[in-house]
Amino acid sequence: MTFFFYLFATLTLLMTLLLLLSKKLIHLAFSFLGVLLGIAALFVLAGADFLAVAQILVYAGGVLVLIIIGIMLTQTAPKENGQNITSHSNIISAVLVLVLFSMLVYAFISQPFEQQTWIQNAQIQQKTLQTSTLPSTGILLMTQYLLPFELTAILLLVAIAGAITLLQYKNKSRIL
């Protein structure tokens, strides 16, 4: 278990490094696939099986494909030497990233994880790691979190309707 955790954690970190260092935009997108799969594996090891599968379905199968198609349709071939991705001049963004990172690290350190009841419960009852989270997720979504769940559905419906309307006004000719 610990071995697999370190294996997948190393894989995820390596893929992230590859993502940050790759010169070509398309390599970046494909190493993102490795990152997503590694995180999904870590979710499985943490006992969150439903979350892991949802991660693969939504991010690796959906969002990533969207990103890749976006890159394919926008990038022009001569710019592929990578000038526009690894520019070192942008100090403002570096400062912003550093501030955000230190905030996250501070929040993580200052959090008393040892005293959280749900973590203590999980440490005592190792069995919760073995059982699937699927039934309890379903029941919670349909009872306690029904309103947010339905609101998300409405949000998605609005997004779809918006996308269709945009497409109809801007583009009357058929593609594909």
Considering the rule CB under 8 A, would residue 134 count as an interface residue with another protein? yes
Considering the rule CB under 8 A, would residue 19 count as an interface residue with another protein? no
Considering the rule CB under 8 A, would residue 122 count as an interface residue with another protein? no
**Nearest distance from residue 176's CB to another protein, in Å?**
5
Q: Which of residues 79-118 bind another protein (CB under 8 A)?
A: none
Tell which one of 9, 18, 64, 141 touches another protein (CB under 8 A). Answer: 64
Considering the rule CB under 8 A, would residue 14 count as an interface residue with another protein? no
Tell which one of 50, 82, 122, 141 touches another protein (CB under 8 A). Answer: 50
Q: Measured from the CB atom, is 132 or 165 closer to another protein?
A: 132
**Nearest distance from residue 62's CB to another protein, in Å?**
8
**Nearest distance from residue 101's CB to another protein, in Å?**
29
SS3 letters for the chain? Answer: CHHHHHHHHHHHHHHHHHHHHCCCHHHHHHHHHHHHHHHHHHHHHCCCHHHHHHHHHHHHHHHHHHHHHHHHHHCCHHHHHCCCCCCCCCHHHHHHHHHHHHHHHHHHHHCCHHHCHHHHHHHHCCHHHHCCCHHHHHHHHHCCCHHHHHHHHHHHHHHHHHHHHHHHHHCCCCCC
